């Protein structure tokens, strides 16, 4: 029974992984070959070039995706979680806060995360636009309607995000099974017509293409990399499915289907060179275009949905780690804690995606913007991995240099090739990534300045309480809970309460929240209680960046340790900080102004920590930076 249950679970997770993890890379055949042989790259449509390009794609899928990500990177698990944020936290933990590489690694990881946001904008635009462009193949006069239809599809997709993916998510796996089956069938159909295309399986064709074209091949890498987009998703979604289902889905479904389709498109281009305008939609003939457009549109929506959900998850992690201000986070499923919706991110991303579609106007133009975000994140992943395997796993130095150096060389080549297209569209995700990076590094630095100021003016809590009870103030029934930062000392809210109301509650609780650089902190390790005497207690609450902050839930965990809380007898006192920018210290003036703006628009602390609004008393406090 246990064996059958395990097999059933693996099958279900593998099916789910097909729908969520492989949507992006699975839709790459829509545009990859078309872009490689577009006029921009100047590659002649010769048999040798077709063999070389197909061979490069196949071996790229093997080396970059199968070996680097599926086999190696998935081993870099941060307590079961993956992704650029989890890897950054792992790398920082491996070197320690006091080491010289700590800050550069922090900056590197933040920039990689910022590029992920750029990828999150380009992926929906590219995949949906590529799918809708199939209409041009069937009816060229519909070309002017491609962009408007794409925008309508995207607006519809983002509009239903608030409903969550629980309802439609169950269809993602079956849809992608149908998609990969279609890719394989179309590929086989064209391979049968030209079996010699199987010769592209030899790496000699890829090597010969690189040697023959030199700089031309270098530029072509900027388009060939489109076949590898979505590789980061394998690692980012490891926490949802585990590494085994992701590996199983890749080797038994995705890789074979993609390989067959790229071989089939290569065979088609040799036998019918005119199909180069859009080889994907011409694999089965005119009769299949409209059905393929429908299937491609659905697959593109699935791929986009995975990216959108990934952006929400990334944002939540960034907030927990202190890189972004608090935002409204809505849980869309009572069963799955990972299914969330962040309204601010949803609408900002929609605006950016629609702007990209309208600005670039075609999948071919968007391709120039696509690769640079993807390869930039891949490059950062390789660099961070070196520090993990060297300083955490304690592998031999030369083994670490050799293993990560090989992939780093490939990443540098791919990123450099895409960087050459900066003025053709590469500026878009880089500018977007730089903007997000600036927000994150400014928020992190600003919060650090706030903590420094609070620490400088902090009154030691235990000494204050000791002096306070020399002449005990009037105590009233109930429990007062004061939120205090790690460096705050006596909370301003307590000082104001004593100053204005001249009272102290019968029981006083100080809560300090600690965000750990790990994904999960179990309930058994969530709280630590310290008795400060006179019925005063310090409670330290620990959260990982994937945990859900919930103070009432944390208080409930105190019951087995002797502290019981009655909701109607408990009041929460929170200091609302007003940040004041002071010239001549801290950050540059414009960064301080940016931080102040972000701080003023941050979500209310009581709401974010799920404190009942009718039990909250807020007290204002000014803090200079």
Q: What is the CATH number of the domain that holds 23?
A: 1.20.1740.10
Answer yes or no: do 416 and 510 share one domain. Answer: no
Residues 129 and 66 in one domain: yes
pLDDT (0 to 100) of residue 585: 67
Spatial distance between the Cα atoms of 549 and 428, rounded to a whole number of angstroms: 35
Residue 167 has pLDDT above 60, yes or no: no
Can you give the pLDDT at residue 350?
Answer: 94
- Residues 404, 499 share a domain: no
HEC per residue, 531-597: EEECCEEEEEEEECCCCCCCHHHHHHCCHHHCCCCCHHHEEEEEEEEEEECCCCCCCCHHHHHHHHH
Residues 205 and 337 in one domain: yes
Is pLDDT of 420 > 60?
Answer: yes
Q: Please tell me which residue, 58 or 335, carries the higher pLDDT value.
A: 58
pLDDT for the residue 193: 94
With helix as H, strand as E and coil as C, how does 482-544 read? EECCCCCCCCHHHHHHHHHHCEEEEEEEEEEEEECCCCCCCHHHCEEEEEEECCEEEEEEEEC
Residue 190 and residue 61 in one domain: yes
With helix as H, strand as E and coil as C, how does 123-162 read?
HHHHHHHHHHCHHHHHCHHHHHHHHHHHHHHHHHHHHCHH
| 407 and 494 inside one domain | no
Query: Looking at the DSSP assignment, which residues form a beta bridge with residue 78?
Result: 81
Write out pLDDT tens, residues 233-291.
788 777 777 788 889 999 999 999 999 999 999 999 999 999 998 899 999 888 888 89
Q: Is the alpha carbon torsion for 376, 378, 384, 387 positive or negative?
A: negative
Q: What is the span of the domain harbouring residue 85?
A: 10-425
Task: Give 85's DSSP letter.
Answer: H
Among 475, 524, 545, smallest CA distance to 504 is for 475
Q: What is the mean pLDDT of residues 214-240?
A: 84
In angstroms, what CA-CA distances link 94 with 98, 317, 398, 610, 619? Answer: 11, 19, 18, 33, 40
Highest mean pLDDT among 317-321, 362-366, 508-512: 508-512
Residues 359, 363, 368, 373, Cα dihedral to 10°: 90
Domain count, the chain: 2
Task: Determine the length of the chain.
Answer: 625
481 vs 508: CA distance, rounded Å: 6
Q: What is the model's pLDDT at position 546?
A: 80
The confidence score (pLDDT) of residue 165 equals: 60
Q: What is the pLDDT of residues 4-24, one digit of tens each?
A: 434 447 787 788 788 778 888
Mean pLDDT calculated for residue range 359-368? 83
pLDDT in tens, 463-497: 898 888 888 888 899 999 998 887 678 888 888 88
Could you give the percent of the chain with pLDDT greater than 90? Answer: 34
Beta strands 503-515 and 474-483 are parallel
pLDDT digits (tens, 9 = 90+) for 75-121: 887 777 778 888 888 899 888 888 889 989 999 999 988 988 888 88
Give the pLDDT score at 166. 55
Instruction: List pLDDT tens digits, range 366-393.
Output: 877 878 888 888 999 999 999 999 988 8
At residue 137, does pLDDT exceed 90? no
Which residues are 503's β-sheet partners?
474
Beta partners for residue 553, in sequence order: none
In a domain, residue 435? The reply is no
Q: Which residues pair with 620 in a beta bridge?
A: 576
**Is the same domain home to 56 and 169?**
yes
Q: Does a structural domain hold residue 567? A: yes
* pLDDT band for position 535 (cuts 50, 70, 90): very high
Residue 118 lies in a domain: yes
CA distance 215 to 223: 14
Verdict on whether the full-model pTM lies above 0.75: yes
Q: How many CB atoms lie within 10 A of CB 432?
A: 23
Has residue 433 been placed in a domain? no
Residue 3: pLDDT band (50, 70, 90) is very low
Residues 458 and 421 in one domain: no
The per-residue pLDDT for 6 is 47
Domain-ending residue, one of 407, 425, 443: 425
How much is the pLDDT for 273? 93
Mean pLDDT for 171-199 is: 93
Distance (Å, whole) CA 419 – CA 387: 26
Distances (CA, A) of 307 to 117, 247, 507, 527: 9, 20, 47, 34
CA distances from 419 to 218, 236, 422, 439, 594 (A): 11, 24, 5, 23, 29
Kindly report the number of other CB atoms within 10 A of residue 445's CB atom. Answer: 16
* Average pLDDT estimate for 317-321: 85
Say whether pLDDT at 2 is over 60.
no
| DSSP code of residue 84 | H
Residue 169, pLDDT > 80, answer: no
How far separated are the first and last CA of the chain, in Å rounded? 62
Report the alpha-carbon distance of residue 494 to residue 573 in Å, rounded.
Answer: 8
Contact 338, 313 (CB under 8 A): yes
Q: What pLDDT, on a 0 to 100 scale, did the predictor assign at position 403? A: 86
Contact between 366 and 125 under an 8 Å Cβ cutoff? The reply is yes
Q: In this structure, are 314 and 413 located in the same domain?
A: yes
Q: What does each C-alpha distance from 452 to 445, 448, 449, 485 come to in angstroms?
A: 11, 6, 5, 11
The secondary structure element, H or E, covering residue 40 is none
Domain presence at residue 185: yes
**Residues 139 and 201 both lie in one domain:** yes
Who's near 569: CB < 8 A, 6+ residues apart? 477, 478, 479
Q: Do 374 and 498 share a structural domain?
A: no
| Residue 442 domain flag | no
Considering the domain boundaries, does residue 413 fall inside one?
Answer: yes
Rounded CA-CA distance 175/171 in Å is 6
Residues 436/117, Cβ–Cβ less than 8 Å: yes
> From residue 587, how far is each of 183, 345, 590, 624 by CA, in Å?
53, 26, 8, 12
Cβ neighbours of residue 109 under 8 Å, at least 6 residues apart? 84, 85, 87, 88, 89, 91, 92, 380, 384
Residues 475 and 421 in one domain: no
Q: Which two tokens stand for residue 64?
A: 């970059």
> Of 1-10, 309-318, 509-518, where does mean pLDDT reach its minimum?
1-10
Q: Give the 3-state DSSP-derived string for 451-477, with helices as H, strands as E and coil as C.
A: HHHHHHCCCCHHHHHHHHHHHCCEEEE
Query: Is 292 a member of any domain?
Result: yes
């Amino acid at each position: 029974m246990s064996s059958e249950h395990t097999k059933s679970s693996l099958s279900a997770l593998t099916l789910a992984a097909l729908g969520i993890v492989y949507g992006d890379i699975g839709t790459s055949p829509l545009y990859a070959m078309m872009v490689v042989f577009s006029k921009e790259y100047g590659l002649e449509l010769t048999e040798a070039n077709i063999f070389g390009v197909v061979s490069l794609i196949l071996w790229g899928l093997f080396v970059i995706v199968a070996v680097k990500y599926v086999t190696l990177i998935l081993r870099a698990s941060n307590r079961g979680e993956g992704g650029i944020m989890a890897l950054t936290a792992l790398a920082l933990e491996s070197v320690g806060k006091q080491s010289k590489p700590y800050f550069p690694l922090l900056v590197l990881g933040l920039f990689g995360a910022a590029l992920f946001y750029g990828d999150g904008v380009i992926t929906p635009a590219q995949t949906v636009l590529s799918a809708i462009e199939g209409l041009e193949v069937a009816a060229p006069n519909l070309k002017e309607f491609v962009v408007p239809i794409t925008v309508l599809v995207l607006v519809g997709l983002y509009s239903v995000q608030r409903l969550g993916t629980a309802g439609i998510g169950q269809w993602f796996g079956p849809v992608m099974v149908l998609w990969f089956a279609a890719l394989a069938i179309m590929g086989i159909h064209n391979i049968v017509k030209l079996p010699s295309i199987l010769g592209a399986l030899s790496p000699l064709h890829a090597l010969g293409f690189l040697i023959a074209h030199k700089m031309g091949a270098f530029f072509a890498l900027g388009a060939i990399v489109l076949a590898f987009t979505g590789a980061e998703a394998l690692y980012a979604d490891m926490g949802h499915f585990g590494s085994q289902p992701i590996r199983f889905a890749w080797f038994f479904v995705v890789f074979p289907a993609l390989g067959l389709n790229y071989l089939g498109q290569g065979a088609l281009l040799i036998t019918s060179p005119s199909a180069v305008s859009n080889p994907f939609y011409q694999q089965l003939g005119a009769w299949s275009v409209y059905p393929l457009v429908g299937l491609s549109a659905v697959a593109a929506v699935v791929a986009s949905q995975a990216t959108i959900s990934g952006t929400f998850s990334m944002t939540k992690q960034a907030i927990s780690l202190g890189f972004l201000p608090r935002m409204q986070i809505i849980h869309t499923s009572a069963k799955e804690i990972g299914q969330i919706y962040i309204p601010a991110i949803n609408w900002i991303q929609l605006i950016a995606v629609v702007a990209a579609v309208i600005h670039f106007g075609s999948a071919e133009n968007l391709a120039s913007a696509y690769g640079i975000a993807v390869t930039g994140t891949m490059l950062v992943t390789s660099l961070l991995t070196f520090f993990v395997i060297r300083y955490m796993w304690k592998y031999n130095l030369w083994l670490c240099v050799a293993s990560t150096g090989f992939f780093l060389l490939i990443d540098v080549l791919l990123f450099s090739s895409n960087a050459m297209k900066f003025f053709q569209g590469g500026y878009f995700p880089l500018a977007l990534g730089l903007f997000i990076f600036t927000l994150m590094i400014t928020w992190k630095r600003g919060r650090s300045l706030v903590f420094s100021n609070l620490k400088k003016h902090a009154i030691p809590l235990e000494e204050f309480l000791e002096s306070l009870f020399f002449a005990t103030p009037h105590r009233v029934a109930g429990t007062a809970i004061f939120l205090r930062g790690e460096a705050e000392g006596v909370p301003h809210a307590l000082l104001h309460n004593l100053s204005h109301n001249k009272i102290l509650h019968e029981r006083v609780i100080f809560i300090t929240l600690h965000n750990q650089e790990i994904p999960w902190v179990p309930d058994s390790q969530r709280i630590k209680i310290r008795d400060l005497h006179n019925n005063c207690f310090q409670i330290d609450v620990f959260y990982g960046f994937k945990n859900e902050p919930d103070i009432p839930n944390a208080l409930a965990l105190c019951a087995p340790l002797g502290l019981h809380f009655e909701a109607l007898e408990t009041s929460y006192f929170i200091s609302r900080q007003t940040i004041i920018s002071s010239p001549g210290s801290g950050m540059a003036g414009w960064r301080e102004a940016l931080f102040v703006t972000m701080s003023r628009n941050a979500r209310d602390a009581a709401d974010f920590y799920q404190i009942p609004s009718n039990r909250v008393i807020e007290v204002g406090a000014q803090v200079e930076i």
